[in-house]
């Protein structure tokens, strides 16, 4: 078994009959886009409950800051709600994380699932409550991008208490990014843009001894270079145990330098194991992993193994 940090708060595993809140803390969505996610969750025996403002719209946000924060806090405070599943990412959760009722989160910890912009929410919950989370697809489900294997992966992370193992896939664009070795540490991170946007805030975690997860979408190589360089110059990568590289989807821009070149150059000299090719992120066949729990990265076997976010 992977060793576990005793300070980590792992919420109860979801069980058939549990109610789960569908919240939109970032960008807007619609009932039509969430319908497939509701169908999946219902099929697992869960009771999806859209938050009052789940389908609100305020420009590029899913409602005003007040209503998005209110939906999150209501879900955290309601004893009937046993999990929080974000509908999608987009943008906006950093605007409301300081309004989260962390006392309610600590009083009744619940599993929170999402990715992309939701990385900022998971960082805030880690800082404020040491709450482990689930980095995986949201309820605005798209079968063409997240087929059966993706659904099974999310189900396992939410509704079972076994370790989660993800294998590097040769077909992934980042598969060639590799620095040999084996590393164990708390898996932290997610979307690279949101990690960088957390620099200078209370929410950027101390990555000393951690395995850093990075993924992104529609960012050209020079911007990925810029973000990794900023993390390096800020000292955020000092003391890392390893780097798990997920999907960098649609990250080409016509230059001769590829995303693999940039990731290899900016991560390859950190002196830690690096494993690319993991189907975690915005690409097809996205898989789910816990974050905030202990992980082992092994480049020889090409696997990332993570202890569960739930108990």
Q: Rounded to whole angstroms, how far apart are CA atoms 180 and 47?
A: 44
Angle, vertex CA 174, rays to CA 300 and CA 138, nearest 5: 105
Q: Cα 56 vs. chain centroid, distance in angstroms?
A: 23
Do β-strands 242-249 and 211-217 pair in parallel, antiparallel, or remain unpaired? Answer: parallel
155 is catalytic: no
Catalytically annotated residue among 215, 219, 294, 307? 215
Catalytically annotated residue among 153, 282, 294, 307? 282
> Whose structure tokens read 């939701």?
118
Decide: residue 86, CB within 10 A, 0-12 exposed, 13-18 middle, 19+ buried.
buried
Q: Rounded to whole angstroms, how far apart are CA atoms 85 and 192?
A: 21
Catalytically annotated residue among 24, 116, 153, 307? 116
Instruction: Report residue 264: phi and psi, to 5°.
Output: -65, -40
282 is catalytic: yes
116 is catalytic: yes
Q: Which residues are catalytic?
A: 116, 215, 282
């Amino acid at each position: 078994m992977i060793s576990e940090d005793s300070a980590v708060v792992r919420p109860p595993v979801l069980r058939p009959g549990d109610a789960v809140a569908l919240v939109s803390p970032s960008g807007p969505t619609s009932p039509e886009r969430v319908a497939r996610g509701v169908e999946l969750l219902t099929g697992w025996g869960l009771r999806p409950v859209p938050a009052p403002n789940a389908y609100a719209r305020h420009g590029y946000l899913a409602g005003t800051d007040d209503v998005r924060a209110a939906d999150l806090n209501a879900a955290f405070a309601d004893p009937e709600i046993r999990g929080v599943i974000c509908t999608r990412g987009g943008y906006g959760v950093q605007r409301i994380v300081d309004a989260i009722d962390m006392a309610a989160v600590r009083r009744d910890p619940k599993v929170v699932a999402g990715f992309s912009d939701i990385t900022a929410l998971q960082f805030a919950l880690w800082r404020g409550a040491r709450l482990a989370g689930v980095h995986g697809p949201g309820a605005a489900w798209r079968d063409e991008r997240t087929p059966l294997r993706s659904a099974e992966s999310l189900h396992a992370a939410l509704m079972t208490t076994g370790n989660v193992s993800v294998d590097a896939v040769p077909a992934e664009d980042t598969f060639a990014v590799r620095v040999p070795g084996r590393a164990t540490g708390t898996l932290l991170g997610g979307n690279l843009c949101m990690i960088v946007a957390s620099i200078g805030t209370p929410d950027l975690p101390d990555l000393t001894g951690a395995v850093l997860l990075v993924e992104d979408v529609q960012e050209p190589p020079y911007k990925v270079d810029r973000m990794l360089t900023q993390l390096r110059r800020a000292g955020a990568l000092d003391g890392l145990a390893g780097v798990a590289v997920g999907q960098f989807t649609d990250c080409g821009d016509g230059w001769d330098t590829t995303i693999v070149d940039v990731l290899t150059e900016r991560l390859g000299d950190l002196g830690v194991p690096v494993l690319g090719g993991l189907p975690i992120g915005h690409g097809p066949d996205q898989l789910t992993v816990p974050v905030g729990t202990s992980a082992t990265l092994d480049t020889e076997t090409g696997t990332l193994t993570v202890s569960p976010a739930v108990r």
